[in-house]
Amino acid sequence: MQLKAQQVCFRYHKRAPWILKDLDFTVDSRERVGLVGPSGYGKSTLSKLLAGYADPTRGQILLDGKPLPKSGYCPVQMIYQHPEQAVNPRWKMERVLRECWNPDPELLTAMGIEKEWLKRWPSELSGGELQRFCIARVLGPDTRFLICDEISTMLDVITQAQIWHLLMEYAEKKQMGLVVVTHNMALAEKVCTRIVSLPDLNHI
Ligand SMILES: Nc1ncnc2c1ncn2[C@@H]1O[C@H](COP(=O)(O)OP(=O)(O)OP(=O)(O)O)[C@@H](O)[C@H]1O
């Protein structure tokens, strides 16, 4: 499978500056692509477009040549830097976790999710604990691409390593393409099969 941004231009409103201009970007389901570049260059914006959370001002996002589905489960899923913004605060963790699929106990163990946490509210977990749920809940069989926007910034180094190891293994086994947005070049080099830098539109 292939996820493609084709000649994508984006600005947040009519008089705002262009964030992305005529951008072509492709990721294959066997790839893990690092998306790097200084702050403000549009990495998160491109992530949102790729996951269908916003539409390009011009150009298109294509999944195997077709637009992303407008209803039902989207095969392109996104994980954010701030997990507390990505969960319903009125749902207990058990419900948050099983929103899209039913992860097996082995996955929960591998993710370091403790059984007892399932009974808690999101506000009763740390950012790192919550992030493990946000990752586990999108690893279902219908996810073909995973857009990871600075997902491990709030984790300690050991947990970071564990989670990236698991994600890499999972992505390879399930042929799930990854887009890894990060400022951490060492992480990108370790995790990714290819690295792409976004251009500086102010100097074109
Ligand atoms: N909702 C929004 N409305 C208007 N402008 C926005 C919005 N979100 C982001 N921007 C602007 O778009 C530009 C790109 O932001 P984006 O978050 O995509 O960059 P980034 O490369 O991910 O940055 P960082 O590395 O700091 O996360 C920035 O100038 C930002 O101020």
150 Cα: distance to centroid of ligand 1 (angstroms)? 14
Residue 182: CB within 6 Å of ligand 1?
A: no
Per-residue tens of pLDDT for the chain, all 204 residues: 999 999 999 999 999 999 999 999 999 999 999 999 999 999 999 999 999 999 999 999 999 999 999 999 999 999 999 999 999 999 999 999 998 899 999 999 989 999 999 999 999 999 889 999 999 999 999 999 999 999 998 888 888 998 899 999 999 999 999 999 999 999 999 999 999 998 866 544
The confidence score (pLDDT) of residue 204 equals: 47
SS3 per residue for the chain: CEEEEEEEEECCCCCCCCCEEEEEEEEECCCEEEEECCCCCCHHHHHHHHCCCCCCCEEEEEECCEECCCCCCCCEEEECCCHHHCCCCCCCHHHHHCCCCCCCHHHHHHCCCCHHHHHCCHHHCCHHHHHHHHHHCCCCCCCCEEEEECCCCCCCHHHHHHHHHHHHHHHHHHCCEEEEECCCHHHHHHHCCEEEECCCHHHC
ipTM surpasses cut 0.85: yes
Q: Is 36 in the pocket of ligand 1 (CB under 6 A)?
A: no
Check residue 69 and give its pLDDT.
94
Whether the CB of 45 sits within 6 Å of ligand 1: yes
Q: CB of 19 closer than 6 A to ligand 1?
A: yes
pTM over 0.90: yes
Q: Which atom of ligand 1 is nearest to the CA of 183?
A: 25
